[in-house]
């Protein structure tokens, strides 16, 4: 079942990232983060972009370190799981750099 | 024990007929109607699920015809508004909760053991309990229509419309309680399916070599496990609000109707894929058979299933695009909704590629497969359109959405199921079908469906909203609606003909020979109709396909016959399929129907508003639950059983990682999801809902100290449960079990002390949420106490020894879960007090 955990690692990371950033978005809107300035800009987009980039870095680490295991089909599925998670995180969370936050 | 499954030698051949008689005597149902309610066999239960769901489908279809009759003309006088509201609500609810989900559960229960090379599902009594809960719950829901108190707030029961203010009476309660009752069967099925796939596959059948249907059902069950708890929680919270005025959704007291929408669609969108995945499994099974080739891209399809399972949980807000959610959140869900088309397309192209590579034989099941392609792909494309926020805002709540969802659900579920029924009917009935009727039924359904719903896209684009019963000021919609209504009637005739075809096959069809479609999968490695036990002996390492029919029937496989007059199955390791132990399954019993009746009495008392009497029902349920434990133990240490020459395995009573243990872990995943949904509710209302912060609670250290003392007792209970297992063969084991019972009882008393100090839950949503968290802890306390008592009874009655552990491992799981969730809940209360 370690193999199964390796297959699911990428999608699970996406799930954590997606729900985490969505939660962060709601929390930031509720706490008025868009109007809190930091040296690098408003806190809200900064926090979300930071979380997204961190997540993408973790996906990159997974692709690098969560190597194939078992026979050819098992290895292919581990690789596929890694990439499914990474592409999903990149595609579904890119709005953190593209749209306004709480508007 | 043999380490390499490939080294398993065959058993000596026996005469097939005596073996069949021996097995059938042990595995078949008891005779007569009294015997039939005692059945727990997966074949019987699965077929009952499917037949009952098809009956509900027919009723839902009749309601649809009433809707179409009403809308055929703009001033339809066929139904009044109130009845129309009830009918469209019941149509949606029946089709979703009483047809689609039970149909897939039935298919899984009936088919999975056959296609995976097993004799039954992992928990036969649980399957039977699920069926009776489904039947009783369905009857309650349906009866409301006869008594004129049917739900009328739409199948997603939005608040505040479904709250007590706007829906007095019991109609909304019928939905909330009835659906929750029915969903017990869904949770039971999810646990059963997962454990069956992971632990009961044929020996040596690695996970990556199992038939694709196994992967589809594994994905479906995992989604059910995580998808249904938010709906169950939402239903409980809304029922608590309606019954006891706890204001989870009341804005004035810190609640928020949006919480209901989130909880509902957290279930509701994955639900689409829960319905689609088993249907896709049917397609992946059938298409290679009729294309006379192997499925193209096994690995890609498995990867697509993994992608779908996860991505489908990131789409729910696309049902809420118009409620005023910030742009960024809309964009997240819009992107996810578009992305989910990719894994779906991977499967579509794999199926097309398979047909391209092979030579398609256009038999009746394949006609329905073609119907699927023509319908589902269009539904998927309009789904991508609706995933785009600007278009969604225009088309929201119009008939365009109605057309889209029917294209997805009928295309993605009904056509594949019709294909599946026609494909597996020879195995069910043992007969060939009568020619031509099925083809006529297909064309009527296909043409009728597109006649009804294709044009409905246009009706929606012209602005006709859903759920209106008249449109006197819009004559431009009338001819479109008339065409849809005519199409609907044609489709109905098609379905009636389909049922007639099935009945004719059952009654008058020629006897079918084995494996009439020349399929490769193991479900066809048996005589027709399928025997009650599936396989007289179980497939070992090597071939797991239809070619092993005769060797298995002659007892050359593993665990041949029923020499000990018990229902024995082979339990394997989840990944490799290596034989692990022999599980003895329970035989026919009426306990499931009595348990379902006890649970039903609770729901009926709630529905009747007789809340004071519900503790009696709860006691009844606890009594029934206690009876279930009676089978779960043995008073003797047994020698390992000879499974094959050179391979002897222990019985499950002498193992730790049993089916029950796996099932408990699986169940706790669902339980944790429900708890996480409750925490989501706390966070959502705290951050988003108006009228926060709540009034001062006046709670202080006393409540936190009482809670901490309860946690201490739960911790002691956990230690006791560990000791009870470790010392099971010695007197301290009995003492530990006794201490565990005392600790659980004391913890429950302390929780009652916390409840006594809490504020009135009707005052504010914060207080209601605290009460809900406490109720959750109390419920788990009762379950844990029951398990501690069971462990104590095991010790006292000699069900434990150095080899036998009794219920202690399962008790530990629940004890740890109770402790963990209660600690989190206390932390939430402490944070609220500090904040």
CB atoms within 10 A of CB B467: 13
**Phi and psi dihedrals of B521, rounded to 5?**
-75, 160
A13 touches chain B (CB under 8 A): no
CB–CB contact A102 B328 (8 Å):
yes
CA B574 to chain centre: 21
Look at residue B7 and tell me whether its pLDDT is greater than 70.
no
Question: What 3-state DSSP class applies to B649?
Answer: strand
- Give the chain A residue whose CA is nearest to the CA of B327: A103
Q: Which of B299, B303, B574 sits opposite A84 (nearest CB)?
A: B303
CB < 8 Å to B306, chain A? 7-8, 11, 77, 80-81, 84
**Residue of B313, B328, B661 to mutate for A, most A C-beta atoms under 10 A:** B328
- Predicted local distance difference test score (pLDDT) of residue B154: 95
Q: Which of A74, A84, A88 sits opposite B208 (nearest CB)?
A: A74
Burial of B541-560, coded b for 16+ CB within 10 Å and e otherwise, reads: beebbbebbebbbbbbbbbb
CB < 8 Å to A22, chain B? 329, 332
B208 touches chain A (CB under 8 A): yes
A39 CA to chain B: closest CA distance, Å?
23
CB–CB contact B331 A99 (8 Å):
yes
- Each domain of chain B, given as residue ranges in start order, spans 693-834
Q: Which of B306, B332, B574 sits opposite A81 (nearest CB)?
A: B306
Which residue do the tokens 């919480």 mark? B259
As a residue count, chain A comes to: 103
Look at residue A100 and tell me whether its pLDDT is greater than 80.
no
CB < 8 Å to A70, chain B? 208
Confidence of residue A10 (pLDDT cuts 50, 70, 90): very high
CB < 8 Å to A27, chain B? 687
Look at residue B208 and tell me whether its pLDDT is greater than 90.
yes
Q: Please enumerate in sequence order all residues whose Cβ is within 8 A of that of B385, keeping only pairs 6 or more positions apart, or say none.
A: B391, B395
A52 CA to chain B: closest CA distance, Å?
12
Look at residue B211 and tell me whether its pLDDT is greater than 60.
yes
| Structure token pair of residue B215 | 């992967």
Kindly tell me the sign of the dihedral angle through the C-alpha atoms of B694, B695, B696, B698. negative
- Predicted local distance difference test score (pLDDT) of residue B498: 97
Look at residue B123 and tell me whether its pLDDT is greater than 50.
yes
Tell me, which fold does domain B693-834 have in CATH? 1.20.120
Alpha-carbon span B807 to B662, nearest angstrom: 13
Q: Count how many pairs of residues, chain A against chain B, have C-beta atoms within 8 Å.
A: 101
CB–CB contact B336 A84 (8 Å):
no
Q: Which of A1, A77, A95 sits opposite B328 (nearest CB)?
A: A95
Bridge partner list, B491: none
Alpha-carbon span B583 to B435, nearest angstrom: 44
Closest among B157, B151, B163 to B241, alpha carbons compared: B163
Alpha-carbon span B298 to B278, nearest angstrom: 16
Confidence of residue B231 (pLDDT cuts 50, 70, 90): very high
CB atoms within 10 A of CB B315: 25
Question: What 3-state DSSP class applies to B657?
Answer: coil
> How do residues B519-541 score in pLDDT, each as one tens digit?
999 999 999 999 999 999 999 87
Q: Which of B310, B335, B687 sits opposite A91 (nearest CB)?
A: B335
**Residue of A6, A10, A21, A84 to mutate for B, most B C-beta atoms under 10 A:** A84
Alpha-carbon span B673 to B234, nearest angstrom: 13
Alpha-carbon span B254 to B681, nearest angstrom: 12
**Residue of B259, B294, B310, B692 to mutate for A, most A C-beta atoms under 10 A:** B310
> How do residues B455-478 score in pLDDT, each as one tens digit?
999 999 999 999 999 999 999 999
Kindly tell me the sign of the dihedral angle through the C-alpha atoms of B361, B367, B371, B374. positive
Closest among B535, B570, B561 to B549, alpha carbons compared: B535
CB–CB contact B208 A15 (8 Å):
no
Alpha-carbon span B631 to B305, nearest angstrom: 37
Q: Within a 13 Å sphere around the CA of B491, how many CA atoms are in the beta-carbon half?
A: 23
Look at residue B708 and tell me whether its pLDDT is greater than 80.
yes
A87, B340 contact by CB (below 8 A): no
Closest among B539, B438, B450, B520 to B487, alpha carbons compared: B450
CB atoms within 10 A of CB B75: 8
- Give the chain B residue whose CA is nearest to the CA of A45: B328
> How do residues B71-107 score in pLDDT, each as one tens digit?
999 999 899 999 999 999 999 999 999 999 999 999 9
> How do residues B23-56 score in pLDDT, each as one tens digit?
999 999 999 988 899 999 999 999 999 999 999 9
N- to C-terminal Cα separation, chain B: 59
> How do residues B146-198 score in pLDDT, each as one tens digit?
999 999 999 999 999 999 999 999 999 999 999 999 999 999 999 999 999 99
Q: Please enumerate in sequence order all residues whose Cβ is within 8 A of that of B490, keeping only pairs 6 or more positions apart, or say none.
A: B444, B447, B448, B451
CB–CB contact B328 A94 (8 Å):
no
Alpha-carbon span B317 to B333, nearest angstrom: 6
Chain A residues 30-69 with a CB less than 8 Å from chain B: 30-31, 48
Confidence of residue B3 (pLDDT cuts 50, 70, 90): very low
Alpha-carbon span B551 to B532, nearest angstrom: 18
Alpha-carbon span B432 to B427, nearest angstrom: 9
What is the value of ipTM here, to two decimals?
0.95
- Predicted local distance difference test score (pLDDT) of residue B580: 97
CB atoms within 10 A of CB B214: 22
Q: Please enumerate in sequence order all residues whose Cβ is within 8 A of that of B26, keeping only pairs 6 or more positions apart, or say none.
A: B533, B562, B565, B566, B567, B587
CB atoms within 10 A of CB B689: 23
CB < 8 Å to A12, chain B? 310
The CA R_g of chain B, rounded to the nearest whole Å, is 27
> How do residues A14-64 score in pLDDT, each as one tens digit?
999 999 999 999 889 888 999 999 999 899 999 999 999 999 999 999 999
- Give the chain B residue whose CA is nearest to the CA of A22: B329
Average pLDDT over residues B371-390: 95
CB–CB contact B328 A99 (8 Å):
yes
CA A46 to chain centre: 15
CA B639 to chain centre: 37
Confidence of residue B1 (pLDDT cuts 50, 70, 90): very low
CB < 8 Å to B336, chain A? 18, 88, 91-92
> How do residues B619-669 score in pLDDT, each as one tens digit?
999 999 999 987 778 888 999 999 999 999 999 999 999 999 999 999 999
Average pLDDT over residues B388-395: 95
CB–CB contact B310 A84 (8 Å):
yes
CB < 8 Å to B328, chain A? 25, 48, 95-96, 99-102
Q: Which of A30, A74, A93 sits opposite B687 (nearest CB)?
A: A30
Look at residue B609 and tell me whether its pLDDT is greater than 60.
yes
- Predicted local distance difference test score (pLDDT) of residue B6: 55
Alpha-carbon span B14 to A96, nearest angstrom: 68
Closest among B240, B228, B261, B59 to B142, alpha carbons compared: B59
Q: Give B448-481 as a DSSP string.
A: HHHHHHHHHHHHHHTTPBTT-S--TT-GGGHHHH
How far is the CA of B430 from the CAs of B48, B286, B506, B516, B772, in angstroms?
17, 18, 8, 10, 52
Look at residue B2 and tell me whether its pLDDT is greater than 60.
no
Confidence of residue A68 (pLDDT cuts 50, 70, 90): confident
Confidence of residue B4 (pLDDT cuts 50, 70, 90): low
A8 CA to chain B: closest CA distance, Å?
8
- Predicted local distance difference test score (pLDDT) of residue B5: 47
CB–CB contact B299 A80 (8 Å):
yes
Alpha-carbon span B767 to B682, nearest angstrom: 10
A88 touches chain B (CB under 8 A): yes
CB atoms within 10 A of CB A54: 12
Peptide bond just before B176 cis, omega within 30 deg: no
Closest among B384, B382, B388, B372 to B456, alpha carbons compared: B382
């Amino acid at each position: 079942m370690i193999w199964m955990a390796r297959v699911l690692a990428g999608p699970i990371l996406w799930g954590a990232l997606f729900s985490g950033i969505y939660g962060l978005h709601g929390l930031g809107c509720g706490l008025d983060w868009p109007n809190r300035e930091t040296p690098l800009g408003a806190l809200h987009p900064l926090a979300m972009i930071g979380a997204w980039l961190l997540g993408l870095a973790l996906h990159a680490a997974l692709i690098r370190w969560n190597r194939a295991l078992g026979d050819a089909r098992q290895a292919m599925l581990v690789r596929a799981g890694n990439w499914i998670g990474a592409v999903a995180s990149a595609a579904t969370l890119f709005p953190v750099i593209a749209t306004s936050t709480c508007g | 024990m043999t380490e390499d499954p490939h080294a398993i030698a065959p058993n000596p051949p026996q005469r097939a007929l005596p073996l069949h008689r021996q097995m059938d005597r042990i595995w078949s149902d008891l005779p007569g109607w009294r015997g039939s309610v005692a059945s727990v066999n997966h074949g019987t239960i699965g077929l009952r699920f499917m037949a009952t769901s098809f009956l509900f489908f027919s009723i839902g279809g009749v309601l649809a015809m009433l809707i179409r009759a009403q809308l055929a003309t703009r001033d339809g006088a066929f139904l009044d508004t109130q009845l129309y509201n009830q009918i469209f609500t019941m149509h949606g609810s029946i089709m979703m909760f009483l047809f689609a989900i039970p149909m897939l559960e039935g298919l899984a229960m009936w088919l999975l053991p056959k296609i995976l090379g097993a004799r039954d599902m992992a928990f036969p009594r649980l399957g039977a309990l699920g069926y009776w809960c489904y039947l009783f719950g369905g009857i309650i829901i349906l009866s409301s229509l006869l008594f004129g108190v049917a739900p009328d707030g739409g199948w997603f029961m939005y608040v505040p419309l479904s709250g007590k203010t706007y829906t007095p009476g019991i109609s909304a309660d019928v939905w909330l309680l009835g659906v929750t009752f029915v969903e017990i069967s869904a949770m039971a099925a999810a646990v059963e399916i997962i454990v069956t796939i992971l632990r009961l596959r044929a020996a040596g059948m690695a996970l990556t070599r199992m038939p694709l249907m196994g992967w589809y059902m594994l994905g479906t069950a995992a989604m059910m496990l995580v998808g249904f708890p938010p709906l169950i929680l939402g239903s409980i919270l809304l029922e608590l609000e309606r019954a006891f005025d706890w204001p989870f959704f009341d804005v004035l007291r810190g609640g928020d109707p949006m919480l209901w929408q989130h909880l509902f669609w957290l279930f509701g969108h994955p639900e689409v894929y829960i319905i689609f995945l088993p249907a896709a499994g049917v397609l992946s099974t059938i298409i290679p058979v009729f294309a006379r080739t192997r499925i193209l891209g096994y690995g890609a399809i498995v990867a697509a299933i993994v992608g779908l399972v996860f991505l489908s949980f990131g789409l729910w807000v696309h049902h809420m695009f118009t409620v005023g959610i910030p742009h960024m959140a809309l964009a997240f869900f819009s992107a996810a909704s578009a992305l989910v088309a990719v894994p779906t397309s991977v499967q579509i192209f794999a199926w097309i590629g398979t047909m391209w590579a092979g030579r398609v034989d256009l038999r009746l099941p394949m006609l329905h497969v073609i119907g699927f392609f023509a319908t589902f792909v269009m539904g998927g494309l309009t789904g991508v359109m609706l995933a785009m926020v600007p278009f969604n805002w225009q088309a929201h709540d119009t008939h365009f959405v109605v057309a889209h969802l029917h294209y997805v659900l009928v295309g993605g579920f009904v056509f594949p199921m019709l294909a599946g029924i026609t494909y597996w009917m020879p195995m069910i009935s043992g007969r060939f079908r009568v020619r031509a009727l099925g083809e006529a039924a297909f064309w009527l359904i296909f043409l009728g469906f597109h006649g009804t719903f294709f044009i409905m896209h246009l009706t929606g684009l012209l602005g006709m909203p859903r759920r209106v019963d008249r449109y006197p000021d819009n004559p431009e919609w009338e001819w479109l609606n008339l065409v849809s209504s005519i199409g609907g009637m044609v489709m109905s005739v098609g379905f009636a003909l389909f049922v007639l075809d099935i009945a004719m096959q059952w009654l008058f069809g020629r006897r079918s020979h084995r494996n009439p479609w020349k399929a490769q999968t193991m479900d066809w490695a048996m005589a027709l109709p399928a025997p009650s036990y599936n396989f007289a002996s179980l497939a070992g390492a090597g071939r797991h396909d239809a070619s092993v029919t005769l060797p298995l029937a002659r007892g050359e496989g593993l665990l041949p016959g029923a020499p000990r007059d018990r229902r024995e199955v082979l339990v394997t390791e989840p990944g490799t399929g290596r034989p692990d132990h022999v599980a003895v399954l329970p035989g026919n019993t009426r306990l499931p129907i009595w348990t379902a009746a006890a649970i039903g009495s609770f729901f009926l008392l709630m529905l009747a508003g007789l809340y004071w009497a519900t503790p009696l029902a709860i006691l009844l349920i606890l009594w029934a639950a206690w009876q279930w434990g009676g089978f779960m133990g043995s008073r003797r240490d047994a020698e390992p059983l000879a499974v094959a020459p050179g391979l002897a395995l222990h019985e499950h009573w002498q193992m730790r990682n049993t089916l029950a243990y796996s099932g408990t872990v699986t169940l706790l995943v669902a339980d944790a999801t429900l708890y996480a949904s409750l925490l989501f509710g706390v966070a959502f209302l705290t951050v988003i809902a108006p009228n926060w912060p709540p009034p001062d609670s006046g709670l202080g250290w006393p409540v936190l100290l009482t809670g901490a003392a309860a946690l201490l007792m739960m911790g002691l209970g956990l230690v006791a449960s560990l000791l009870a297992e470790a010392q099971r063969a010695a007197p301290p084991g009995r003492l530990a079990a006794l201490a565990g019972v005392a600790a659980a009882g004391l913890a429950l008393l302390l929780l009652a002390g916390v409840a006594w100090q809490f504020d009135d839950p009707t005052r504010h949503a914060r207080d209601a949420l605290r009460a809900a968290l406490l109720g959750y802890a109390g419920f788990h306390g009762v379950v844990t106490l029951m398990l501690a008592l069971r462990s104590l009874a095991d010790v006292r009655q000699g069900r434990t020894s150095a080899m036998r552990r009794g219920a202690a491992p399962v008790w530990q799981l629940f004890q740890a879960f109770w402790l963990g969730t209660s600690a989190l809940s206390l932390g939430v209360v402490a944070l609220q007090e500090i904040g």
